[in-house]
Amino acid sequence: MALSFQEALSRCAAETDALLDRLLPLDAFPARRVTQAMRYAALGQGKRLRPFLVVESSALFGVPRKRALRAGAALECVHCYSLVHDDLPAMDDDDLRRGKPTAHRAFDEATAILAGDALLTYAFDILADEATHPDPHVRLKLVSGLSKAAGVAGMVGGQMLDIEAEARIDSVLSDISLIQSLKTGALFRYACEAGAILGQADPAPLRHYADKIGLAFQIADDILDVESTPEALGKATQKDRIMGKATFVDLLGLAEAKRRAAALVDEAIATLTIYSERGAVLAEAAKFIVQRRN
Ligand code: IPE
Ligand code: IPE
Ligand code: MG
Ligand code: MG
Ligand code: MG
């Protein structure tokens, strides 16, 4: 029997958690404290949306699930590192993440910085391993793609622009679109491209889908920041206004931000027509991204 969308997402989350648990054994390395902090940041809560997108985009091309899960776990390591560093006092200075104290609160700042660094570098070790794909050319493409998505051309670049925009009062729509497409969009783009890389297929059509959902995802994140509660969200709310963040909600207002997110979901779904009914799960994922409650 086919799983519901929620069941499919939960299944992927559980598989990703189990894999990360195996990849990060507590006693494997002498620096136990940083391993503990890595496990603290990577295991447990977390929607695992990016691994889910890797798995489902891989399924379009008949990629073995085990390989897709490894690429998804590598991407999740990068995502978790980005959260640990995003929460640091020098950045968003947050105390709550995924319903528990942020890594620098549970440990200390130095340990959190190191745990983030180690999660980032470990991601490439996971991708470079033969278990991810037997063809070294494929592994190289996975490594190069994630490095671009995570770095100055992607997430890190977006985080920098996000911080710089705090100081400005004249941010316009194109500035905000660029910030969002880098800080959040780049990892979503990689999540969808990874399936095509593993399947040795053309990643271009999925890139369009990913651009739409990546933007919709960050708009939804900004809406939840205004409309949700820390209890429901597992992280602080009302932060963007306090920090003076450049967001679509700030520039367009809530109603127009919601309209824009909904339009992006429709556009994302339209890009999937070339996959016919095989694109159904990714279409559900696009809807989930704006309907989610956390
Ligand atoms: C939060 O991402 C950070 C952003 C990019 C806005 P998620 O909402 O996917 O966080 P988790 O992984 O489920 O905790
Ligand atoms: C951060 O965006 C995106 C990352 C690269 C981590 P936010 O600062 O809005 O993410 P949250 O709201 O803290 O999860
Ligand atoms: Mg931030
Ligand atoms: Mg933040
Ligand atoms: Mg946010």
DSSP element (H, E) containing 96: strand 96-97
Structure tokens belonging to residue 267: 């556009």
Looking at residue 161, what is its pLDDT? 97
Q: Is this model's pTM higher than 0.95 or not? A: yes
Q: Residue 116 contacts by C-beta under 8 Å, 6 or more apart in sequence? A: 41, 81, 82, 84, 85, 103
Count of C-beta atoms within a 10 Å radius of residue 160 = 14
Give the residue among 213, 218, 220, 178 at the shortest CA–CA distance from 192: 213
Query: Which residue positions in the chain have pLDDT lower than 50?
Result: none
Of 215, 217, 245, the one to substitute when testing ligand 1's pocket (max ligand atoms within 8 A of C-beta) is 217
Looking at residue 171, what is its pLDDT? 84
Closest ligand to residue 235's CA = 2
**111 vs 283: CA distance, rounded Å:** 39
3-class DSSP state for residue 228?
Answer: coil
Cβ 232 vs Cβ 294: under 8 Å: yes
For residue 87, the CA-to-ligand 4 centroid distance in Å is 6
Cβ 46 vs Cβ 72: under 8 Å: no
**18 vs 33: CA distance, rounded Å:** 21
Structure tokens belonging to residue 87: 């929460």
Residues with CB under 6 A from ligand 2: 82-83, 86, 92, 155, 159, 183-184, 221, 235
Place of tokens 């929460």: 87
Looking at residue 1, what is its pLDDT? 57
Looking at residue 168, what is its pLDDT? 82
Closest ligand to residue 93's CA = 4
Structure tokens belonging to residue 230: 């820390």
